[in-house]
Structures are given as structure tokens and as C-alpha cells.
Amino acid sequence: MTTYAAETASPPDPRRWLSLAILLIANFMNLIDVTIVNVALPSMRESLGASDSQIEWVIAAYVLAFALGLLPFGRLGDIVGRTRMFLAGVVAFTAASALCGLAPNIEMLIAARVLQGLGGAMMTPQVLAIATVTFPPHERGQAFSLFGLSAGLASVCGPILGGVLIDAQLFGLDWQPIFLVNVPIGIAAIVAGWFLIPRLPGHADLKNDYVGILLFGLGIVAVVFPIVEGRAYGWPLWAFGMIAFGVVMLGLFYLWQGRRAAAGEPQLLNYALLRSKEFMFGAFVVTVFASGIPGMFLVISLLLQSGFGFSPLESGLTNTPFSVGVLIASAIAGRFGAHYLRGRLAAAGALLTFGIGWLHFIIAGVGDTIDHWWFLPPLLVAGIGLGLGFSSLFQLVLRAVPPRDAGAGSGALQAFQQVGGALGIALVGEIFFTHLGSAFASGSGPHAAFADATALALWYQVISFGLVMLLAFFFKGSGGQPQGRPAAPIPVEA
């Protein structure tokens, strides 16, 4: 393994393209796990006897752990060395995937998903950092384009691969292979990475903000947990108390970051960004934007499989047009560069609002049968909207960030993205499962109950993406190229 004494002065490593392939494989494994789980949720629910809130936690636990780990593990990689942290993340992600596949009950599965999310958070911040240092400036554009391609392929392959693995019933297993498939891939990436990825030195003089990590983590978990679990307990007083406690913790986090900044000490989230109205407005829009998709595919998978008897493969194929739309839009959006960002974001919000609204009326009008071809046009339109929206949104926000804070800004936006996903799952799940329970209590059959609950839950996406369409025009006008290096590829829920 090559050791660089100085990251900026070293000549290009002759094995940099091989090391890039390893980074891409590990990143692909992480991204595909985001999409592959959705088609397995009904199978998990049935075989493990999971409750409504527990099946939400299968997704939310991963997203939340990933969100909480991004910033501290990004800094820890700077301290101990990015390659070391990346390989540790692949080890953790691979081991957690094995635990997920071997989980005997839903509680163990949720705990393993937390570990898997932390492993993903250890890997992700290091991937682009390693590529940035390993490649000379004239090769970075080509290298970064491959990350976008891998993200698009993961979004397309995930639902289909998940359906194939579950339907195959390998070794008599049901949903478990969607996790176990990561084990041989992860082991290969660890072995190859040990020998081929340049060993980048850490900076032991840097420090992490452990109090900030604690305050931020307590705040986010205290807000999300009662939203997911409150319905199951009849919304007791402690649920509202936890939310209030979470808000207080987030307020203390803000004050603590200010104190660290005044003392010249490192902050978990750069205090200059927290004080920037433009950045925080952009972070709010990112949170709203990201909250829409994970919950949508949670309820669509339950509708198709539990409500209308689709197989996991049929469900995955039904969702595929969305991923294809993302891939198409991502390829087209790259040609625009940093031009027409506000218009592109507004168009993305409009396409998502129209596509999901169209899907709402289709589902609201179904009877005892449902045809997967009905889903193709609205999901394709919505997928194009998502692919168009995320790239323009991240560029809009990051262009207001000074170059010295570009890395922190990118990492912070990804954390807000994941927090938005967790909140979206909680809110959409609350709407869906509450209405589903009421429908069954009133004597509705499974077809009508699942269709009505899904149609109602989709209003959340229609409203949130409609809001994004309006908020796009409140960003300041174009001010040049985005600052810093590109943000990491965005995991797409499908």
C-alpha cells in the first residue's frame, strides 16, 4: 500500500484507476442497499411478524444512523487517515450486512441496520476525499463522473435485484439474501483496498467535537423517535416531551458550535454555515426535498405486495421507471453545468408534484385489481424530476459557501438530506398506518384499505414538492460556479 508524505505534492499513483474501481464498488454496495430494501419490506413484515412502526424503523434506523455519522466520521477520517477510515467503514458495513441477513427477529434486524448505517457513514465521506487527493486535477472530472454513473446504476438495479433475490428463495431463504450478497463483495473490496488504495496520512493535531456529536445526536433522535413510535402508544405525553427535549438539544447544539467557533476550536457543523441565512435556507429546502421519496416507496411497496399480492420482483419492476427517470435526468442535467439552477429546481418540483399527484389519482381510483403499467408514466415523470432536482439544489446551496468551507458544507447538506429522509418516513408512515388501521376497523377489504391509505399518504409528497417548486424562486440569482468539489452522489430511494 502506497504511503504519501504530502497529499498535494505527491505524483499520481499508477494504480489510481484500480483504487477508484474499489471505491466505486464499495460506494455502489452502499447506494444499492438504500434501494434494495424497499421491495423486501412486506416479506420482512410477514416473516418476522413486525409491527407497523418496526417496519418503518428498518428504513429509518439506517437513514438516521447514516445522517448522525456523516459529520463526525468525516472529521475522524481527517484525523486518523481517510484510507484507514474507509476500510474500517467497509468492514463495519460488511459485518453489519451479515448480521442483518442472519437476524432472527425484527429487533435484531433494526439494531443491525443501525450498525450498517454507521458503517456507510464511515465510508461515504472518505470516498470523494480519497479520489480528490489521488487524481490530478485534469483527471478528476472523469473520475467524479463515474461516481454519478454508479449512483444512477444503483438506483436502477436495486429494486430489480432485490426482487430477483427474494423470488429465487436461495437456500430456502426469503429476504435475507438482499443483505448477505454484500458479504462477498465487501470482503473483496477490503482485501483489494488494503493493497491498492493509497494510504493517506491523518492529521493527529485535528480534534473532533464530541460534545457537539452528543447534542446533535440526542436532538435528532429525540425528534424522530416519537414521530415513528407515537401512534403505537396512542400519542402519550412523553412523546411530545421528547420532541420538546429534542428541540432544546438542537438549540444547545447551535450555542455550543458558537462557543467552539469563538474559542477557535473545531466544530461538528461549521458555525459560519449555521449563521448563514442563505445556507440554512438551502438546508431547509434540502430537508423538505429529501423527505418525500423514502416514505413514498415504503407505502407503494406495501400497497403492491401486501395489498394486491405482487411478488417482490413484480414490485421492483413496477418501481423501476422512477429509477430510469432519475438516470435520464442526471445525464441531461450534467450538460447544463451551473446554468439555470433556480429554473431547474422549480421544474423539478413541478415534475415531482405532477407525477406523484397523477399517481395519487390512479391509486385513489383502483378497484379490486391494479395494473403495473398504470405506474409507468407518473413514476417516470417523477423520477426525471428527482434527477433534475438534487443536482441543481446542491449547486444552488453550495455556491454561497466559501471555498474553504466547501467540504463542510457538502457534508452538512448530506446530513440534512438524511435527516429529511428519516422525518419523511416517520410522517408518511404515520399517515399511512393510521388510515390503514381505521380502514380495516371500518370493515374495508385489503384492496380498498391499502389503496385509500396509500393515496392519502401521497398527499405529503404532493405538498412537499409543491413547496419546493415555490421556494426555488427565493434563492438568490446566479452568482457563478458552485464552490469547492462536487457533493457525493445522492442515494435515491426506489
What pLDDT, on the 0 to 100 scale, is given for residue 257? 94
Low-confidence ranges of the chain (pLDDT < 70): 1-11, 13, 140-142, 144-145, 147-149, 152, 334, 337, 403-408, 477-494
Alpha helices (H) along 231-311: 237-262, 271-274, 277-290, 293-302
CA atoms of 296 and 89, how far apart (whole Å): 29
What pLDDT, on the 0 to 100 scale, is given for residue 463? 96
Q: How far is CA 15 from CA 24, 136, 196, in A?
A: 14, 13, 7
CA atoms of 370 and 175, how far apart (whole Å): 24
Topology adopted by domain 1-206: Growth Hormone; Chain: A; (1.20.1250)
1-206 with 276-494: one CATH topology? yes
Cβ-based neighbours of 253, under 8 Å, separated by 6 or more: 212, 215, 216, 219, 268, 269
What pLDDT, on the 0 to 100 scale, is given for residue 3? 45
Report which secondary-structure segment, H or E, holds 406: helix 406-441
- CB-based contact 257:267 (threshold 8 Å): yes
Q: What is the 3-state secondary structure (H, E, C) of 94-129?
A: HHHHHHHHHCCCHHHHHHHHHHHHHHHHHHHHHHHH
Topology adopted by domain 276-494: Growth Hormone; Chain: A; (1.20.1250)
User: Which among 128, 119, 133 is positioned nearest to 150, based on CA atoms?
Assistant: 128
- Percentage of the chain exceeding pLDDT 70: 90
Cβ-based neighbours of 142, under 8 Å, separated by 6 or more: none
Q: Which residue do the cell numbers 404515520 mark? A: 430
What pLDDT, on the 0 to 100 scale, is given for residue 141? 63
Cell of 410: 457538502
Cβ-based neighbours of 464, under 8 Å, separated by 6 or more: 288, 289, 291, 292, 424
Cell of 388: 433534475
Q: Which residue do the cell numbers 445522517 mark? A: 67
The domain spans of the chain are 1-206, 209-267, 276-494
User: Which among 104, 338, 31, 81 is positioned nearest to 193, based on CA atoms?
Assistant: 81
Strand-pair partners of 199: 3
What pLDDT, on the 0 to 100 scale, is given for residue 137? 73
What pLDDT, on the 0 to 100 scale, is given for residue 4? 43
**Residue 85: HSE in the Cβ half-sphere, 13 Å Cα cutoff:** 29
CA angle 84, 89, 90 (to 5 degrees): 100
What pLDDT, on the 0 to 100 scale, is given for residue 91? 96
CA atoms of 302 and 300, how far apart (whole Å): 5
CA atoms of 24 and 75, how far apart (whole Å): 21
pTM: 0.82
CA atoms of 83 and 122, how far apart (whole Å): 11
Compute how many other C-beta atoms are within 10 angstroms of the C-beta atom of residue 129: 23
What pLDDT, on the 0 to 100 scale, is given for residue 331? 75
Q: How far is CA 160 from CA 151, 168, 298, 309, 320, in A?
A: 15, 12, 16, 17, 7
CA atoms of 330 and 379, how far apart (whole Å): 16
Q: Which residue do the cell numbers 441543481 mark? A: 392
- CB-based contact 242:222 (threshold 8 Å): yes
